[in-house]
Amino acid sequence: MLILGIVGGEKSLDEGAATLWLNEYNHLASSVYNERVQASWNYYTNLTDHNQHLMVKAELVFSRFEQEAYRNASIFDWKKMNNETIKRLMKTISYMRLPEEEVKQTENLRNRITQVYSTAEVCGDGTDRCLLLEPDLQNKFAESKDWDELSRLWKGWRDETGRKMKSDYEAFVKLQNKAAKLNGFDDNGHRWRAKYETEDFPQLCEKLWNQVSPLYVQLHAYVKRQLKKTYADNIDGFPDGGHIPAHLLGNMWGQTWDNIFDLVVPFPDKQTVDVTSALQQQKYNATAIFRLSEDFFESLGLDPMPEAFWEHSMITRPTDREVVCHASAWDFYNQNDFRIKMCTEVTQESLLTVHHEMGHVHYFIMYKDQPVMFRRGANSGFHEALGDLISMSVVTPKHLQLIGLLEESPEDNETELNFLMKRALERLSFLPFGYLIDQWRWSVFSGETDIDSYNRKWWELRCKYQGISPPVSRSESDFDPGAKFHIPNNTPYIRYFISSVLQYQFQRELCNISGHTGPLHRCDIYGSKEAGTKLRNMLMLGQSKPWPDALEQLTGQREMDATAIIDYFRPLMEWLKEQNAGHDLSWEEECPHGSFTSGSNSLISTMFSLLLPVIYIVLL
Pair 470, 592: CB distance under 8 Å: no
Please state whether the peptide bond connecting residue 492 to the residue before it is cis, i.e. omega within 30 degrees of 0. no
- Could you tell me which residues are annotated as the binding site? 196, 356, 360, 384, 495
**SS3 per-residue string spanning 578-600:** HHHCCCCCCCCCCCCCCCECCCC
- Could you tell me which residues are annotated as the binding site for chloride? 196, 495
- For the question of residue 383 being annotated catalytic, the response is no
Main-chain phi, psi angles of 341, to 5 degrees: -115, 120
**SS3 per-residue string spanning 15-75:** HHHHHHHHHHHHHHHHHHHHHHHHHHHHHHCCCCHHHHHHHHHHHHHHHHHHHHHHHHHCC
User: Parallel, antiparallel, or unpaired for β 244-245 and 338-341?
Assistant: unpaired
**Which residue among 121, 414, 486, 588 is the active-site one?**
486
Pair 441, 189: CB distance under 8 Å: yes
Pair 120, 157: CB distance under 8 Å: yes
User: Parallel, antiparallel, or unpaired for β 244-245 and 468-469?
Assistant: parallel
Rounded to an integer, what distance in angstroms lies between the CA atom of residue 151 and that of residue 398? 39
CA distances from 32 to 28, 306, 586 (A): 6, 22, 53
SS3 465: helix
The helices-and-strands tally (H runs, E runs) of the chain is 25, 6
Angle at 114 between CA 110 and CA 117, to 5 degrees: 150
- For the question of residue 486 being annotated catalytic, the response is yes
Pair 509, 555: CB distance under 8 Å: yes
3-state helix, strand, coil in the chain (%, to 5): 60, 5, 35
Residues 6+ apart with CB under 8 A from 479: 158, 162, 163, 165, 166, 169, 454, 455
First to last CA, the chain: 79
Rounded to an integer, what distance in angstroms lies between the CA atom of residue 603 and that of residue 593? 16
- Residue 216's CB is within 10 A of a number of other CB atoms, namely 20
Residues 6+ apart with CB under 8 A from 533: 301
With b for 16 or more beta-carbon neighbours within 10 A and e for fewer, the 320-329 pattern comes to: eeebbbbbbb
**Which residue among 59, 357, 416, 509 is the active-site one?**
357
Rounded to an integer, what distance in angstroms lies between the CA atom of residue 74 and that of residue 78? 8
Residues 6+ apart with CB under 8 A from 198: 204
Residues 6+ apart with CB under 8 A from 88: 374, 544
- Could you tell me which residues are annotated as the binding site for Zn(2+)? 356, 360, 384
Give the containing element (helix H, strand E) for 422: helix 413-426
Active-site positions read 357, 486
